[in-house]
Amino acid sequence: MKNIEELKLMREKVKQDLRLRSGQHRIKIVVGMGSCGIAAGAREVMNEFVTLIENSKRSDIIVTASGCFGFCAQEPMIHIYVEEQRPVTYRNVDIEAARLIFNEHVLNNRVVEQYLFSKGKK
Amino acid sequence: MKDLADHLFDILENSVNAGANEVIVKIAHTKSYFFCSISDNGKGINGQEVLDPFVTSRKTRRVGLGLPLLKRAVEDTCGYLKIMRIDESGGTALQFKMYLTHIDAKPLGDLSRTFSDIFFAWPELALKLFRIENDTEKLVLDFQELRIEIEKGQKDYSNIRKHIQEVSQKELRI
């Protein structure tokens, strides 16, 4: 029999897991994964985001993939959707940029001008 | 594309773009060659035309390079890429073979990461991975099964990336 503290911890963990999977999220990161994106290193970038999200212990952020965004020369590109805000698109996102954007934009809601492609609907 | 793992991810993305929600991947891997067959239940492609870079169903851009690039990469090693359409059920089937001992062969790359990437990139996709060895097929990964196990709490979501990588690494090595 487990004690009450352990049970509480388990409950928190399951709740977090559930939220992660049931699509209840506040921030969505979409990585462009067309041929152009993959060739430019989008897989490393997506992996970095998965790791960053794991490390941040936030359960309201998800990362998914989409096809080509249509600006192949500027790949890897990402969209960031924050709830009730206009989406922001970044270009030439390498691993370093991914960390910067995650810390600034995703966690602190500050747009990173250096890699900015566009704000609002594309 | 740096390595075969990138190519594999790229053509699986084609399946998703074609509206597929079930994909079966079979891999035979020896010291001398890498063989892979992929079949999906998407909307299907025209076998001849798709290898022409200027044929694409996409609207964002008029050139499609995924399959032509893979074709070039495998043919550089005296391998082949074949595209078949499954007429009755819809969908696409393709297979390719790359000779790893050929001097122009691309590196394999980290195949296990391709599968964990796919698991996260497309949460709806039911992928099944088989390893072909000595004419027998062995089921290595079943994403649908994994998701059910997570749902039931038998597997931990936060460890799933590691799990997929470990299983595919163990099962796909020569």
Domains (ranges, CATH) in chain B? 4-172 (3.30.565.10)
Q: Which among A46, A54, A68 is the nearest to B121, CB-wise?
A: A46
- Most B-contacting residue of A43, A50, A54, A59 (CB-CB within 10 A), to test interface: A43
Provide the pLDDT for residue B104. 87
Q: How far apart are CA B95 and CA B107, in angstroms?
A: 18
What are the residues of chain B with a beta carbon less than 8 Å away from any beta carbon of chain A? Answer: 1-2, 6, 9-10, 13, 17, 58, 60-61, 64-66, 69, 113-114, 117, 120-123, 150-151, 153, 156-158, 161
| Chain A residues touching residue B122 (CB < 8 angstroms) | 64-65
- Domain, as residue range, for A52: 25-119
Sign (positive/negative) of CA torsion B136, B140, B142, B148?
Answer: positive
A10 occurs within a structural domain = no
pLDDT tens track for A65-121: 888 888 888 889 999 988 888 889 999 999 998 988 988 888 888 888 888 888 876
Give buried/exposed letters for A53-69 (b at 16+ CB in 10 A, else e): beeeebbebbbbbbbbb
A18 occurs within a structural domain = no
Provide the pLDDT for residue A122. 46
Using the beta-carbon criterion (under 8 Å), do A21 and B157 form an inter-chain contact?
A: yes
| Chain B residues touching residue A68 (CB < 8 angstroms) | 58, 60-61
Are A87 and A80 within 8 A, CB to CB? yes
pLDDT tens track for A14-29: 776 666 555 567 888 8
pLDDT tens track for B61-97: 555 677 888 888 888 899 998 887 766 667 888 899 9
- Most A-contacting residue of B1, B10, B63 (CB-CB within 10 A), to test interface: B10
Q: What is the domain count for chain A?
A: 1
A29, β-bridge pairs: A63, A80
What CATH code is carried by the domain that includes residue A52?
3.40.30.10
Give the minimum alpha-carbon distance from B55 to chain A in angstroms, rounded to a whole number.
14
CA dihedral A41, B141, A30, A60 (to 10 degrees): -130
A52 occurs within a structural domain = yes
DSSP state of A103: I
A12 occurs within a structural domain = no
pLDDT for residue B156 is more than 80: no
